[in-house]
Structure 1
Amino acid sequence: MKAIAVIGAGALALTAPFVAQWEGKRNDPYRDIVGVWTVCYGDTRDVKPGQRQTDAQCQDRLYAQIADHAKPVVACVPQLKGKDAQLAASVSLAYNIGTGGFCKSTAAKRFRAGDWKGGCNAFYAWRFAGGKEIRGLANRRRQEMALCRTGL
């Protein structure tokens, strides 16, 4: 319910399956590509090695993380409110790069200036991890950009 209150049902209906698809789900904690402890759908908050999560816990964590990422995204780019596809893509990007990274990004600056296509195109800059281009991140950014361009 918290996620619906922050971004609305339409954007949440786009965001949750999109993020889940790209993050994948692992019930057992693991170290991600840059060594951060992660569990469920790419969740890094309060993850402890060996602390297995149930499917229900993973689902709860996903919605909580979407809400926690969406709130600062909407705060730094209020123009996204009511633009479900662009908001869903932006929350997905912020889920992956952090809300601080998103709010300082060229994408956010372009959205605030009303340059919607330019903002969507700026997502592609975020395809690197550990200084290397990662094929999975490049693929995710292309899909986020496609979602972001919906209805423009």
Structure 2
Amino acid sequence: MKSIAARLSALGLAGVLAISGGYIAMHEGEVLGSYVDPVGIMTACYGSTGKHVAPGQTFSQDECLYMLAADLQLHNAQLMQAVKVPLSEGEHVAYLSFHYNVGAGSFRSSTLLRLLNAEQRVDACHQLSRWVYANGKKLRGLVKRRQHELEMCLRDLDLRLAANAN
């Protein structure tokens, strides 16, 4: 079976969106139906939420992929509207995964965004590791996801910092 990123590319999503989709799918998992997530939100497939998701629904892999593609485009547009600085690929993937997980409102009001837009990029990346709680409980899955997002976020920044030091 083709990877999620390759399947999203075949649907017309390019670059960061396709990479982010594969990254998000790895952390969200694929459920071919609706379910209630750890904070009580009705969810489907790769973490899709909204009025189109109702209890007891089932979906094909293709339907889940189309939902992921549509969700990625929406979350990316919201992300890029809030971010006022150019992003490296690693930052973009990490922050899109984070935005997809916490939502536009939480992202817009976050210290992470304030630091990022103030060009305090490393500090902004490190804010990711604070977001590991759901309903007051620390979730192992969120700890793992945030660690991966942090590593992705710092990936290109570490290269920039090393280049500037020379």
The equivalent of 2:70 in structure 1 is 64
1:12 Cα offset (Å): 1.6
Q: What CA distance in whole angstroms lies between the structure 1 residues aligned with 2:18 and 2:47?
A: 18
Aligned residue number for residue 145 of structure 2: 140
1:74, 1:80 within 8 Å by CA — same for their partners in 2? no
Out of 151, 156, 159, the position equivalent to 1:151 is 156
RMSD, matched Cα: 1.7
**1:72 CA drift (Å):** 1.2
- The residue matched to 1:151 in structure 2 has which SS? helix
- Give, as a single letter, the amino acid of the residue that structure 2 aligns with 1:35: G
TM-score in terms of structure 2 length: 0.83
| Match runs of 1:126-137 below 5 Å | 126-137=131-142
What residue number does 1:120 align with?
A: 125
The residue type paired with residue 65 of structure 1 is D
TM-score normalised by length of structure 1: 0.90
CA contact under 8 A between 2:32 and 2:58: conserved in structure 1? yes
5+ residue gaps in structure 2? 1-7, 158-166
Task: Report SS of the residue matched to 1:87.
Answer: helix
Cα separation, 2, equivalents of 1:107 and 1:43 = 23
1:91 to 84, 87, 96: 96
Matches within 5 A, 1:41-52: 41-45=46-50, 46-52=52-58
Matched, 1:107 2:98: no
- SS of match in other structure, 1:78: coil
Q: Which residue identity is paired with 1:69?
A: H
Question: d(CA) in 2 for partners of 1:104 and 1:60?
Answer: 29
The residue matched to 1:50 in structure 2 has which SS? coil
Query: Contact 1:18–1:92 at 8 Å: present in 2 too?
Result: yes
Displacement of 1:14 in angstroms is 2.3
2:22 to 17, 20, 26: 17
**Alignment partners' CA distance in 2, 1:129 and 1:12:** 26
SS in 1 for 2:49: coil
Higher relative contact order structure (alpha carbons within 8 Å, sequence separation ≥ 6)? 1
Flag as ranges the 4+ runs of structure 1 deviating above 2 A: none
Higher-Rg member (1/2) = 2
The alpha carbon displacement at 1:127 in A equals 0.4
1:77 aligns with 2:83: yes
